[in-house]
Amino acid sequence: MHVNLLRTVAACFIAALVLAAIRPAQAQPEGQARVAVRGDSAFVYHTAEMPLDNGFHVERSTGGGDFERITEEPVRAAQDPRALPARLGERYDAIKRNLEAEGPDAVFFRLRADRQMGLFLAFAYPEVARVMGRLFVDSEAPIGESVTYRLVFVDGLGQPTGRTLEREVDPLREVSAPDPREVELSNEGAQVRIEWQYPTPPSGGRGDQVLRFEVLRRDRATGNFVPVSTERTLLRNEAQEDFFYLFNAGGTGRTETFVVAAVQMTGRRIESEPVEFFIEDNVPPDPVSNVEVFMTPDAKVEVNWPVSPEPDVAGYRLTRARSLTDEFNALNDDLLGPLETTYVDSTTKGRRNYYYKVTVVDSSDNAAKPSNAAMARVEDDAPPPAPAAFEAEPQDDGTVELTWQADVPADLHTYEVMYQRTDVNPGDTWAHANEDILQEAAYTARGIEGRGFAEGAVYRFGVAMSDSSHNRSDTAFAKVKIPDRTPPEPPSRVQVRDDGGVRALVRWNRSSSPDVTAYRVFRREDAEGAPDTVIARTERLELQVQDDGAKTGQPYVYAVSAVDSLGNEGSRSEPTRFVLRDRDAPPAVRNVQAVAREQGVTLTWEAVASEDVQGYRLYQSDLPTGVFEPVNDQLLTETRFVHTGGESESYYRVYAVDRAGNASRPSQPARAQEPRP
């Protein structure tokens, strides 16, 4: 199959890579010439057919100049098949396998007889091209120049035959190629699969000249990468981008480093990034057969099986189930030794069927497929003893830590833990705390869906023991009250209303916490550093208080907190700001005097005798009964003011304003007059 694929790729290569890459003007029926560059050397190939004793000279023209011969002797094919192994070196085995040849004579014959295969292998391996007389390496090539190579064919005596081939390259340079990407490895035992991606070649131009791949592994002794793909050629199919190769790594249990190299026709390797891969032993051993069970005189089950013939057996794992549809659970924590093929199960109880399976495990912890199940029938109807010293301790996270003591039987199946709430009419309903098998004399109960138990509630816990025959012990009980450590939520929508300017009415919505028993109402002056004062404590249904101690005109901040049945006080509500309005206006201003001077009108008046007067507003008009316009934007805190824009014969009124914003009646109008001389 590989040879057929190789022949197909060879045909495509000859048709597409060689012939289509040569311009039509250069096409010649006698064959083609092709040039590739590696480093400072030019590899000059040809596809012409010639007799075994013929050869060719190579002439070179640089920059359109004259041709000069650069070969001292004609390039000829190998004449003796016996020289092929030495001349092909490490490539010989791969070439022989690709050609399905038995020895050097057959390899020699098929390279010459099968034109397509011979040409492909010549371009894939420079060593084959030299053996077949199809390659000359110009080690002094003028890299970067426009170069034309001419191949002059000669006969066995070195005389020209009249045939020539030419190939022009402008400029003469090395063709780049991408490195393989996405290199991944997997294995099944020592059989390793390596995968990689490689793009299809660009259309037009010279292509990337990559014909094949090599998989290389780092040699532990030298540190160099050496091929692992020596038995066959890893062909590049230009129509695909995904490639893989299977090979035997020669062992498992070690880490190897691999690279994938794209190989051009000159033999140049373009390597991927190194990939480290641990070749694990992942092939399980064969299962054991003929597992047998026997009942011992003391009602125990003895399981026997034959020794596994696997060379790397580490031991055996024994599993047991109550039925073929149940999960099989391990009986032994540590593996039984490779020669231990008997196990006595003393943890059974009567009136039950038991099924046993034996699993072979190797030294790499690979487990074989379990053996067929062997069944034993055991009789037992005695219940286990009841647990004792049962205690329940609540935890800070809402769970309850349960502990007890028990005379544990050999066939303990599980403890059954249950609970019920007793402070809210529990009835006979119990909830199971543990759904999984429990064989430790301790358990952390977490409540419904793991959310913990209700704070402040009283619970009754019970624990009983069940053996493997489903015999159940009596139940031990313990009672516990869950501490209430969570303070209640604050009330919402705290509102403060002015009650006729006499008092403040504080209202709020109830807290969302169910165990609230009271509320505390706080008030402080709306000033930095002002202390809080508790003005009231109400029962849980009282959602309103009146504050008779609020002073009119004084800004306050109110807040309310909730208190639960255990005295936990929650955080306070959002602060609500409030000012109790004073609805009584201050007395009118008296004895307003207005004197017109050069700098304006100087006004004076008598201070109003009231504690909550904040200041005064001044108004001016041209007539005593006209419209008075305000003179000042801000309240005047003094009883004297100079109106720089005032004039003689103007009229003025003064109003007193208190902290609540109440304005007094206007003063009597005062006319501005010049002072008497």
Instruction: Dump pLDDT digits (tens) for 613-636.
Output: 889 999 999 999 889 999 998 999
Model pLDDT for residues 436-489, shown as the tens digit of each residue: 999 999 999 998 888 888 888 899 999 999 987 788 999 999 999 888 788 999
Asked if residue 670 lies in contact with residue 603, where contact means CB atoms within 8 angstroms, the answer is yes
Instruction: Give pTM, 2 decimals.
Output: 0.50
pLDDT of residue 7: 56
pLDDT of residue 10: 52
Per-residue pLDDT at 8:
55
CATH number of 2-169: 2.60.40.10
Long-range contacts of the stretch 238-242 (C-beta < 8 A, 24+):
238/12, 238/16, 238/200, 238/201, 239/200, 240/200, 241/197, 241/198, 241/199, 241/200, 242/195, 242/196, 242/197
d(C-alpha 122, C-alpha 131), whole Å: 9
Could you tell me the pLDDT band of residue 294, with boundaries at 50, 70 and 90?
Answer: very high
Query: Nearest Cα to 535, choosing from 565, 488, 503?
Result: 503
Q: Where does 388-481 sit in CATH, by number? A: 2.60.40.10
User: 40: Cβ–Cβ under 8 A, 6 or more apart, which residues?
Assistant: 139, 140, 141, 143
The reply to whether 590-671 shares the fold of 181-279 is yes
Name the strand (E) or helix (H) holding 68: strand 68-69
Q: How crowded is residue 555: how many other Cβ atoms within 10 Å of its Cβ?
A: 13
- Domain ranges for the chain: 2-169, 181-279, 292-379, 388-481, 492-579, 590-671
Arithmetic mean of pLDDT, 421-432: 80
pLDDT in tens, 49-60: 999 999 999 999
Helix (H) / strand (E) containing 95: helix 92-99
The tokens of 662 are what?
Answer: 């109440």
Neighbours of 523 (CB within 10 A): 21
Domain 292-379 classified CATH 2.60.40.10?
Answer: yes
| Per-range mean pLDDT, top range of 131-140, 405-414, 482-491 | 131-140
Dist. CA 35–CA 49, nearest whole Å? 18
pLDDT the model gives residue 326: 94
What phi, psi does 509 have (nearest 5°)? -90, 150
Residue 246 has which token pair? 């299977």
Q: List pLDDT tens digits, range 504-532.
A: 999 999 998 888 999 999 999 988 888 99
Question: Each residue of 299-347: pLDDT tens digit?
Answer: 899 999 999 999 899 999 999 999 999 999 999 999 999 999 999 999 8
Residue predicted with more confidence, 197 or 412: 197
Confidence of residue 45 (pLDDT cuts 50, 70, 90): very high
Rounded CA-CA distance 560/489 in Å is 11
Q: Is the pLDDT of residue 11 over 80?
A: no
Does residue 387 carry a pLDDT above 60? yes
Across the range 578-599, mean pLDDT stands at: 87
Q: What is the pLDDT of residues 353-373, one digit of tens each?
A: 999 999 999 999 999 999 999
Tokens linked to 49: 């057919």
- Residue 617 CB-half CA count within 13 A: 17
Going across the sheet that includes 651-658, the strands are: 629-630, 613-621, 651-658, 670-671
| Inter-axis angle of helices 104-113 and 92-99, nearest 10 | 60
CA angle 322, 324, 326 (to 5 degrees): 60
Return the pLDDT at 180.
Answer: 96
| Residue 89 DSSP one-character state | G
With 0-12 / 13-18 / 19 or more C-beta atoms within 10 angstroms meaning exposed / middle / buried, residue 664 is buried
Q: What values do phi and psi take at 527, rounded to 5?
A: -150, 150
> Does the domain spanning 181-279 belong to CATH 3.90.550.10?
no
Q: Are 436 and 495 in contact (CB under 8 A)?
A: no
The pLDDT assigned to 240 comes to 93
Residue 21 has pLDDT above 50, yes or no: no
* 111-115, 190-194, 212-216, 583-587: least confident range: 583-587
Q: How far is CA 184 from CA 240, 242, 244, 276, 662, in A?
A: 17, 11, 9, 10, 87
What is the pLDDT confidence band of residue 12, given thresholds at 50, 70 and 90? Answer: low
- Residue 423 has a CB neighbour count (10 Å cut-off) of 13
Percent of residues, the chain, with pLDDT higher than 90? 65
Strand stretches in 311-367, DSSP E: 313-321, 329-330, 342-345, 350-362
The residue ranges of DSSP E strands in 468-588, in sequence order, are: 476-481, 492-499, 503-509, 516-525, 533-539, 544-547, 555-564, 576-579
Secondary structure percentages of the chain, helix, strand, coil, to 5: 10, 40, 45
**Overall fold of domain 492-579:** Immunoglobulin-like (2.60.40)
pLDDT greater than 80 at residue 5? no
Give me the CATH code for the 590-671 domain, please. 2.60.40.10
383 or 370, higher pLDDT: 370
Over 90: is that where the pLDDT of 36 sits? yes
